[in-house]
Amino acid sequence: MNILLLVLIICAGILLLPAFFIIVQYNALIALKNYIRESWSNVDTELKRRYELIPNLVATVKGYATHERETLERVTELRNRCAANNGAVADQSRDEMQLVDALKQLLVVVENYPQLKADENFLELQKELVNTEDRIQAARRFYNGNVRDYRNKCETFPSNLVAQLFGFKPEGNFFSVPPSVQEVPNVDFAS
């Protein structure tokens, strides 16, 4: 009788151990997906903050730089596109990189207007934009770290077996470094 009970306990353990492993791995993958959603909402909040600052910045610059209309319109167009884009992270990342580049062009335009650079409203908006950019970078790093952890869990053995079994797909990173930062700047002292 004791041997039969021992055999049953061993068989139950052999059957329950894989089930327990699957449950633990599944729950870990779900937790990581939830961390990704939460961290993306942090990125999204900071992006919306940027979108709210841009019209004020453009309006302030517009008062001084009336002949820089093309740059101002480009920034406004990209801001509207980014604000409306709620699609895939890769699409949003691409649009955001273009917006960052357009904002850099706008700040280059500002360099030609000393009275604008001294304007109190502009200085406050510029300070808020820099603060917001820092917050976006921090939120982006947090998001990308969660995506990395989730991707590692989906790709490493043995948790990848559970990920494949339940159809967990890797998430995309939000841009790491904009192409404008990766490119070598063209310096021309001739003009």
Q: Is the pLDDT of residue 185 over 50?
A: no
What's the pLDDT score for residue 66? 67
State which residues form the domain around 124: 37-143
22 falls within a domain: no
Mean pLDDT of 51-69: 79
pTM of the model: 0.71
Q: For the packed helices 2-64 and 89-110, what is the interaxial angle rounded to 10 degrees?
A: 30
Residue 56 counted as domain residue? yes
In this structure, is residue 188 part of a structural domain? no
In-domain check, residue 189:
no
CATH value at residue 108: 1.20.1440.20
Number of domains in the chain: 1
18 found inside a domain: no
The residues, ordered by sequence, that sit 6+ positions from 42 with a Cβ below 8 Å of its Cβ are 139, 142, 143
DSSP state of 156: S
Q: Is the pLDDT of residue 188 over 70?
A: no
Report residue 177: phi and psi, to 5°: -135, 125
Q: How does residue 67 score in pLDDT terms, banded at 50, 70 and 90?
A: low
Burial (CB count <10 Å: 0-12, 13-18, 19+), residue 178: middle
